[in-house]
Chain A
């Protein structure tokens, strides 16, 4: 049976590619500039290789979809913190990609007993940390990124990797080094006994052992500490969250059309607290995926996000106090159910029949884990697993998943991957969402009305 290897994108790609090159793997396509996900090796043509987001790799190895994988140890430990009996074996430290996870805060920790909110991309490690530190009352906000932007108003503590000034530069004080990590080779436990992996393991490890001694890089300490921030919002202040990432430019254009000036957004220096020209309004820049949860728990009154993320949040928390306030008519996409062209089903009823005949659990891969779960439940898809992913989900079919819940603008990427759409869940555009309590708060109503009015005029003018 062919050996399956999962290689990382992102921070480890360049060094991993260089090392494989030195080991003579002769990969046809594995570099940062292209979106092809299945490189082939001249040296090991029988090895099935697939490029994943690094965070996906421990899950792919644990579930046995892949036999071997390369990723940093932080994501392995994040999985093991919640699922200690995962079928993952750490084969070897590869000696590059070093870093450290730190807890950090603006203010020193308060006496135990006070509620502590922890924002982190590593929610399982954050929970394990809180238990180990015997925090008596804590809640963890799993975030897609920008954890450093949350303290002090929206979280007391963050757990994040040190780098690019995200600790000191964000006005945070590092409290504790929680985990040192570097790239490592991991294997599925059953694969290690069932398949002959030695040749590949030897090649991957030998390729790096010669450099390991030479590099010996220590984890970089957190950057210089700058004491700033601490924005204590007065009652009646409206807190607005704006998106980073690819929604940013369209949001800037809309704000311009609405005559709302937000300075330093997007920021060249990574400033996540730009100033807005409306008195009594504060702005913070966070990931759009994280906004519905943050608006629900009252950290923000208004936020610009996508209806897809609001729907995913509502699928998890049906009674959540978040409402769509205004359709901003930007970034129009469809949320669709997608299968491989090889699947003999053209709609969800056909998929149900196919699953019943097949008799195996259906693997549903999606960035929208709650929507995917709800879709499978609502459509009686029987025995199914949801595999959380972090982007480029279309590459999962057909080997690594059976069904995707995915967004698409034109459907072209889906068609290019030899996939087909069997159902449309809904249409999503960017929207302004609000916290229900804030929307009916007399002290905030006027300012919220002003923002909504300006945006509405701009949206209608642009229609």
Chain B
């Protein structure tokens, strides 16, 4: 009986896995190059880790895979990890809180239900978390690291879109909504409803006049944000601290030549963000993003510790990278074709070749492997025959002779 894979789940072929591992390896190399250390958190966490105030929106929580564990008689549910950052924040609060600044990264899968079976319900991410450092410099480090990683992956024309969660929240405060409506509105923005902010400010003409220029802002320079900010802060002084914070990060990014497009309405992301939010696009597709989440570690009981991070979407990157740019160097491959009675010799040959760095497979029938060389092992002389891709055949009396033939550059 044929059993199909579960809806929304994906198999990765050997070729896709090579690209997948290639993407991961480049991310890992870049992250460790900036002093980040890898951690792994469990696939299953308590639901209440994610329902704690200020973590995920109800819209996102409504799509988590939650269930009662085999000992869940208390009614406490567990979930398949729906987010990469929150478990790392939990881990920091639990195990690293005395460390001061912690630079951590992970490569993990997250699970979110999607209505359409075409959309993946399991997604892979490579993410970093910079915990214990506030300020613009830390934000800039993350943007610069994300851009360097994408560059190393061979992506060109990467676009950074910048927003500020504190600023968006403060703007919503001005709309005079009830706390419930404010929550709902912010959730809709965070869930990616980018038109909403423009829509509601249309209904509040006075406020709309003041913030529409900012919503429509597509500027790039700190000077541009500064001009907009002065105007806005004049009318709404309570926005000033957020604008100053935003401006400080944009200024450092500009110095580093990493500044992106300032796009306040691009707030989609997670509820736990408190400061600068950035989204990374390549060829029109979102490939990652991150931001500052200074309230998350305190909410986990980890003390008053600022933090920020980003995650790159491994699945999206796999579609965009050139496989040959990320796939590891191909191993030298050998197919050993053996006759009965020479099993021992064949296994000895395999072991000797592997020791020299060859990838060796025994020919067990089926579709022939696309190996660089095929070696026939026979029960009479010549015992070993080495055949190259052009079908040229050379003989060797023993394993040492085979190795010599393989290492002979001019040979077959």
Contacts and interface: CB of A to CB of B under 8 A. Distances in A.
A94 B90 CA distance: 50
B73 A383 contact: no
Contacts of A136: 48, 51-53
B238 to A, nearest CB: 24
Contacts of B53: 112-113, 134, 136
Interface in A87-116: 112-113
Interface size classification for chain B? 20 to 34
B77 interface: yes
A141 interface: yes
B378 interface: no
Q: Looking at A117, A128, A131, A140, which has the most chain B CB atoms within 10 Å of its CB?
A: A131
Contacts of B51: 130-131, 134-138
Interface in B52-69: 52-53, 58, 61-62, 68
A179 to B, nearest CB: 16
Contacts of B70: 316-319
Contact of B71 (A84, A131, A293, A319): A319
Contacts of B61: 131
A134 B179 CA distance: 12
Contacts of A139: 74-77
Contacts of A117: 75
B98 interface: no
B115 A84 contact: yes
A359 interface: yes
A134 B48 contact: no
Interface residues of A, number: 30
Contacts of A128: 62
B1 interface: yes
A134 B68 CA distance: 20
B3 interface: yes
A112 B179 CA distance: 15
A140 B70 CA distance: 16
B75 A317 contact: no
A227 interface: no
A96 B337 CA distance: 78
Contacts of B365: none
Contacts of B73: 293, 296-297, 313, 317, 320-321
Nearest to A320: B73
A137 to B, nearest CB: 4
B261 interface: no
B183 interface: yes
Nearest to B183: A134
Contacts, number: 57
A416 interface: no
A141 B68 CA distance: 11
Contact of B72 (A84, A134, A317, A383): A317
A139 B61 CA distance: 15
B68 A316 contact: yes
A137 B77 CA distance: 10
Nearest to B69: A317
Contact of A383 (B3, B48, B62): B3
A132 interface: yes
A128 B70 CA distance: 22
Nearest to B1: A359
Interface string A290-326: 0001001100000000000000010011111100000
Contacts of B115: 84-85
A137 B52 CA distance: 7
A147 to B, nearest CB: 13
A297 B75 contact: yes
Contacts of B75: 117, 139-141, 297
Contacts of A317: 68, 70-73
Contacts of A140: 75, 77
A88 to B, nearest CB: 14
Contacts of B76: 139
Contacts of A296: 73-74
A316 B58 CA distance: 28
A19 B390 CA distance: 84
A132 B58 contact: yes
Contacts of A313: 73
B55 to A, nearest CB: 9
Given A136-B52, A319-B71, A383 B183 contact: no
A84 B62 CA distance: 10
A131 B62 contact: yes
B394 to A, nearest CB: 54
A303 to B, nearest CB: 14
Interface in B282-316: none
A293 B77 CA distance: 14
A356 to B, nearest CB: 9
A139 B47 CA distance: 10
Contacts of A113: 53
Interface in A122-159: 128, 130-132, 134-141
A137 B58 CA distance: 14
A293 to B, nearest CB: 6
A305 to B, nearest CB: 15
13 contacts: A84-B115, A85-B115, A112-B53, A130-B51, A131-B51, A131-B61, A132-B58, A137-B51, A137-B52, A140-B75, A140-B77, A297-B74, A319-B70
Given A140-B77, A317-B72, 10 more contacts: A117-B75, A130-B51, A131-B58, A131-B62, A135-B51, A138-B48, A139-B74, A293-B73, A319-B70, A383-B3
Interface of A: 84-85, 112-113, 117, 128, 130-132, 134-141, 293, 296-297, 313, 316-321, 359, 382-383
Q: Shortest 8 CB-CB distances between A and B: which pairs?
A: A139-B75, A296-B73, A137-B48, A136-B52, A131-B58, A317-B73, A131-B61, A297-B74
